[in-house]
Structure 1
Amino acid sequence: MSSDDHTNPTTLLDVARAAGVSASTVSRILNGTARVADDKRKAVLAAIEQMNFAPNQMARSLKKGSTMTIGIVVQDISSPFFDETLRGVDDALKGTGYTSVIVSGHWNADEESDRIRLLLARKVDGIILLTGRISDETVLQFSNHRPIVATGRALRTANAIGFKVDNEHGAWLATRHLLDLGHRRIVFITGPASSSDANERLAGYRRAMAEADVAVDPQLVVEGDFHEPSGLAAINRLLERDVPFTAVFAANDLSAYGARLALYRKGIRVPEDVSLVGFDDLPGSSYTAPPMTTVRQPLYDLGKAATNALLSLMGREAFDEGVAPVELIVRETTLPVARQDKRGHAGAGP
């Protein structure tokens, strides 16, 4: 019976026997994880072609030196921040023939490095790193093996490109907005100290306050970690200590959501009692009650730009390097101090 008979299709074991290698070697070659001599690799590919082994994109790609896959390292697959950026990546890949493999670094430098090594072992053609904790030096070392595009970094080499938004300016815009409304007791909920984005936003807050000749009360700079519970805890700590404030600027929208919940539970109204500003402009920020003032990052555009840059590094056409700047989106969570109900200051009841 012929090998192409539908009742007796060629198997991986048949290919292994024809190539004179083990079945596990064939499997590892097809998965792109095997380190074998060229003669064995060529024998396996020749057997696949000769025996018409089931149409296999990986095998065809190996012959061309490409797997037609890109690896994407995110930090939190459940975060809407990464959802928006991945949507941009997905749209940019449409029609290119490439598929993506997504892994998470969980905001841990060692884990990020492990995930990148895993992607390299799977022979992805390139890698997109969405923010993260590994150093620029480490990114450049990995780029010696595959092209890498990273967001949140200022990189430009023959095999690595970085895209960085102006976090400091965005935070300056948010703080300046609150200062222009007459606020002076402005809380800043930080991001993690290990995050350059968070530190740049803190710098923008401090710069705006200094330019307005307003001293920053150390009590008003409260630790957060970019997640909702940290925003909730930050405001609760201030309220427990009876620290007065009229406005809150959170280093990201998720922290602002937590802050909003803490204020609500204490009967403190937004914006009638306390004004609130976030950073990112996640989709949900248009639908909070009331809709939240925030600094818009071009998350979707960043995803598209990063993907187009990677395709360019991998030999496609040149890409448009332009990404929209950050901008303040004023909605309904901020009011001038003169129009706020003074009873709503921290520590006071409604």
Structure 2
Amino acid sequence: MFAQGLASGKSMTLGILTQNIGSPFYAAIAQGVIEGLAGSGYTPLFVDGGWDHEREAVSIEALISRKVDGLLIVGGDIAASELQSYEKQMPLIVVARDINGLERRCVSVNNKQIGYMATKHLLEQRHTQIAFIHGIEGHPDAQDRFAGHLEALQEAGISRSDELLYQGDFSGHAGLKAVNYLLDQGISFSAIVAANDMVALGSRLALYRRGIRVPDDVSIIGCDDQAEAAFMTPPLTTIRQPSYEMGVVASKALLSSISNEDYEWSELAPELQIRESVKRFTS
């Protein structure tokens, strides 16, 4: 493969910028990338941006200096204009983000649909007092999931209640803080839509410490379907985001771009994973 790279003038390496590679979501994407590159002769070089704009920019420049043949950008805070600039320099695919002007270079899932599906499932189980724990403020995925939540409420004829909203992030600690805050304020709710599964995990812990049973007293639904979700107590009902599949599709799209070939794909669809953390509201 080294000789093949010399003959073609290629390094046979691809630069992969991810975020918090220890996170189950990003780790699953990374596994998909590795699988998608199997047999291609290309070696992925992973760097972790840590959701820090300056760190991401330095990491990308480091990859470019290593003469990578293409860039795969997973999530992150790099501005659309910067990504468009990189795309003019070399083949580039963006994962888990939608970038105006780079629509055919983005592999993502409909996050508004994720928020809608999560809330819709609770509404179908007759819950109307639904707390919503936000992801990172200003983050596009968090904004889209909240928009989907509001759409489902509006469709059901339920008015938005600001007291049931909590600005968190995508961490378990945010779920813990959110539930403690809602309970301390005496705010009544029968169900929680968590920004992701880690937030759901923190919410579950807070409820447990207060002697509140899931799902008998409060139902919880998460988003993403991280590996831990199936092993929570009780197992978490969640909206599966096809992170592994996104990694596979993104790597194949990048290989095709390097070869100046077309690679067609459609937006990947989220799926409801029904487990044991949601119960029909009966009182």
Higher RCO by CA contacts (8 Å cutoff, separation 6 or greater):
2
Are residue 162 (structure 1) and residue 106 (structure 2) matched?
yes
The structural deviation recorded for 1:180 is 1.4
Amino acid across the alignment from 2:196: N
Local SS of the residue matching 1:333? coil
On the 8 A contact 1:143/1:160 being kept in 2, the answer is no
Q: 1:131 aligns with which of 45, 69, 75?
A: 75
Q: Which residue is 1:209 aligned to?
A: 153
Residue of structure 2 equivalent to 1:19:
none
Please give the alpha-carbon distance, in whole angstroms, between the structure 1 residues aligned to 2:275 and 2:138.
30
Q: 1:291 aligns with which of 203, 220, 235?
A: 235
Residue 58 of structure 2 aligns with which residue?
Answer: 114
**Which runs of structure 2 are paired with 1:209-248 in the superposition (5 Å)?**
209-248=153-192
Selected match of 1:331 from 271, 275, 278: 275
* TM superposition shift of 1:101: 0.8
How many residue pairs were aligned?
A: 283
Residues in 2 aligned to 1:170 and 1:159: alpha-carbon distance in whole angstroms: 20
The CA deviation at 1:319 is: 2.9
RMSD: 2.0
| Residues 238-317 of structure 1 mapped to structure 2, 5 A cutoff | 238-315=182-259
For structure 1, the 5+ residue unaligned runs are 1-55, 340-350
Secondary structure of the 1:192 match is coil
C-alpha distance in 2 between matches for 1:243 and 1:62: 65
Q: CA deviation at 1:317?
A: 5.1
Mean alpha-carbon deviation: is it higher for 104-113 or for 245-254? 104-113
* More off after superposition, 123-132 vs 315-324: 315-324
Q: What's the CA shift for 1:212?
A: 1.1
How far did residue 323 of structure 1 move?
5.0
Q: Deviations over 1:282-309 (max 9, x none)?
A: 1111111111110111111100000000
- 2:141 aligned partner: 197
Does the Cα contact within 8 Å between 1:147 and 1:160 map onto a contact in 2?
no
Contact 1:77 1:83 in 2 (8 A): yes
Q: 1:171 aligns with which of 102, 115, 132?
A: 115
TM-score normalised to the size of structure 2? 0.94
- Between structure 1 and structure 2, the one with the greater Rg is 1
SS of 1:337's equivalent in the other structure is: coil
How far off is 1:189 after superposition?
0.6
Amino acid at match of 1:305: V
Q: Deviations over 1:205-257 (max 9, x none)?
A: 11111111111211111011101111111111111111111000001111111
Mapped pair 1:66 → 2:13: no
Q: 2:27 aligns with which of 75, 80, 83?
A: 83
CA–CA distance in structure 2, aligned partners of residues 150 and 100 of structure 1: 15
Calculate percent identity across the aligned residue pairs: 38
Q: Distance in 2 between matches of 1:242 and 1:203?
A: 26
> Using the alignment, how far apart are the partners of 1:312 and 1:275 within structure 2?
44
